[in-house]
Structure 1
Amino acid sequence: MINLNNLVKACVISPLLFMGFSASAQTSCVEGWDFQAEYLKHNKSDKHVDNYNLHVYKHLWNNDYLSLYYGGTASIANGYMDKDEKKDSDAFGIGPSIMGRLEFNPFGSFYTGLEAGGTMRFFTKAHPAGGRAYDFLWRVGPRFSYKLGNYSALGLTLLYAHASNGMNSHNPGYEMKGVNLDFEYKF
């Protein structure tokens, strides 16, 4: 089950991080490809599943504040769900993904904002233990980036994430916190 307190904090407090700046309407988007490496650590004591994700996104659309992307994700999930039984939940998964960024330019080449994404992952086996061979991964958090020029940008995102298969039965969801490093480049 999604921890609503953490989700509300991420969605409400994150935009406040950049509202205090006298920011101009501009995004760091270079309208190219975005390559992201991500580590998500388990957030509950009885669900010890960490995720290592690689996202590849292609720019789809943007305006002054918002950028939208589509792409794919490869995931390695590592750990177990129940500390007493230690049911193995290691799996490899891939799937389609979407992402959106709300950004502002407080000064110079620095940008700040909020990133949110969703991925449907298909795993090599039931993941996590007691679940099904697919799930949905939702991520949200504040993003800080630096635009290197017209063709590239670097970014760092602090994330809150939730993974579950959306079914009423066989649905051992779990929450994670983590960090995402990305490099956007226009070929």
Structure 2
Amino acid sequence: RLVIEPANARTSALYRRWRELAAERGITVRSAATGMSIAWPGLVVEVLDAGAAAAEGRVARALVARVRLAGQALLIPGDAPPEQQRALAASGDLAASALRVPRRGAADALDAALLAAVRPQVAVVSAGRGNRWGHPVTAVLDLLAGAGVRTLRTDRHGTVTLTPADDGWRVATSREPAPER
């Protein structure tokens, strides 16, 4: 059992208690490092950006990982802000057949450069049903649709399960949404 945490230093009492509980349960906790790769039989987790604490006046960088499983890849960009997404897009190979859309599909959640670099077949937006912010926003959904990406939304589809298949991902959801976009 392993937890990979962002490189950001934590000092809160809650965090210290979480670390104590992890140790009591024999769970290994490792700080992420950019370029780190962890492999299990049939599964590889690559840390593309370890994240960083926010400097004064700057947005923190998120932990960004790519998971490779059975010939498919899923990019998990955390809550990466737009400038981090653009830097990732310019940094090299980000190709993944699935994308977890950052920041619940907020107005600046997905940079076009990141989407072009990833080239996913399917994207998952994790947003609460009826959330007060209206996430995901139409602009993000339009960006995904314009790129031909099949988009699944937890606010409409419920739990989304992706299972790797030879030609992409098999998708299962816990509910069928009402016809919309």
Tell which has more relative contact order, 1 or 2 (C-alpha 8 A, sep 6+): 1
> TM-score when scaled to structure 2?
0.27
The structure with the greater share of residues assigned to strand is 1
> TM-score when scaled to structure 1?
0.26
The structure with the greater share of residues assigned to helix is 2
